[in-house]
Amino acid sequence: MEEFVFYNGKKLRKGYTTGSCAAAAATAAALYLFRGQPLEDVQIKLPNEAMLTIPIAGLELQTDRCIAYVEKDGGDDADATDGMLIGVEIRCNNTSEIKIDGGEGIGRVTEVGLQIPVGEAAINPVPRQMITESVRQVIGSEKGALVTVFAPTGAEIAKQTMNSRLGIIGGISILGTSGIVTPMSEEGWKQAISVELAMKKQQGYKKIILCPGNYGEDFAVKELQLKADQIVSMSNFVGYVLKEVQRLAFDEVLMVGHLGKLIKVSAGIFSTHSKDADARTEILIANLALLGMPVNQLQEIQACNTTEAAGEIIANYGYEEVYQMIADKIKKRSQDLLKYRKPETQIEVVIFSSQRGYLASTQPLAQIMEEWQ
């Protein structure tokens, strides 16, 4: 396995997923319990058939069971689970079946729409397969085992993840499709959003509200009285999420966001993180110029560090109509992104600022509040 990846000119170390940790811990526990081999590291097979060596942080052998621990290593893409202990307890089973469950610190699925049925431990299919194959390799085809995955600090760490949004309660998830964490890929975050969208669709939602983050969600719920369970956070991945919404065949989308974030979309910027693009002031100046704002006033806008500060100048000179222009452009750019694909997705937009509140929308605000209840 290649241990490094290059991103923006930097050499970054890869890590391994919670699924790989669980598979390695299960392997170590099985080897000690069934073969009497207490190993300091074990090899597991990844889904692509490559082998990965993972160190074992601890072993506890009792008469009828063994517990092994692995310390999660996210490489240079450290997330909330980096450095935590993933444990696996293995017991003998009277049948030849390998049964997998979650214990302390592993979340339980409480809502339909995920890969795991309601009531089951949040251990995804690929990690389950990796655990099963690893243990089977040790015990052979005639014996069985009871495998319990746990995480001593999982309940607390889960508060830093998206699990509660996905209806996974009480702990972390055991995840991974490749077994490897690739630094700075952002793929894990995108996949989590896709999972949440797919879950909403399976639950029967035909319309979805997209917000860039907490500010948008708070405004949608507190000011527009919209339903929190219809909202999905798209973070900075506006283009990616819009295409996912279309792929999943949602009929309508309502985008609710702060001017400083969504203004970028009005200029066709669909990855809105400042590392990718930060042209807020330039976009605002261009639209104000189209409305006839004099150069000296545009220069005042140019001197502003935030759209909030610019809002005071815009109000003083009476150019608030710029907000409607920007909202309409956000809608047009978003629909243009999807127009060559099917099915068609109707998009509406609401923009606001922290200091001035509601700024503009592509439909009358009362109509949006009524139709999206």
Return phi, psi of residue 168, to 5°: -105, 115
Report which of 42, 45, 182 is spatially closest to residue 127, judged by C-alpha positions: 45
DSSP state of 219: I
31-61 burial string, b = 16+ CB within 10 Å, else e? bbbbeeeeeeebebbbbeeeebebebbebee
Number of neighbours of residue 213 by Cβ within 10 angstroms: 14
CA distance readout (Å), 174 to 53, 129, 324: 19, 12, 45
* Measured distance between the N- and C-terminal CA atoms of the chain, rounded to whole angstroms: 50
Alpha carbons 43 and 32: distance in angstroms, whole number: 14
CA distance readout (Å), 363 to 61, 135, 296, 367, 372: 65, 58, 33, 7, 12
3-state SS assignment for residue 213: coil
Report which of 203, 224, 241 is spatially closest to residue 364, judged by C-alpha positions: 224
DSSP-assigned letters across all residues of 228-249: GGGEEE-TT-HHHHHHHHHHTT
Model pLDDT, residue 273 = 83
Q: Can you read off the two tokens belonging to residue 23?
A: 């598979």
Model pLDDT, residue 192 = 81
Q: Can you read off the two tokens belonging to residue 359?
A: 């700024």
Q: Which domains does the chain have, with CATH numbers?
A: 6-181 (3.30.2110.10), 189-371 (no CATH)
pLDDT in tens, 183-205: 656 777 788 889 899 999 999 99
Question: What does the CA dihedral 19, 173, 254, 207 come to, rounded to 10 degrees?
Answer: 100
> What are the residue ranges in the chain where pLDDT is below 50?
1, 4-7
pLDDT in tens, 70-88: 999 887 766 789 899 999 9
Cβ atoms of 282 and 316 closer than 8 Å: no
Cβ atoms of 181 and 16 closer than 8 Å: yes
Q: Can you read off the two tokens belonging to residue 39?
A: 């190993």
> pTM for this one?
0.75
Exposed / middle / buried, residue 331 (Cβ in 10 Å: 0-12, 13-18, 19+): buried
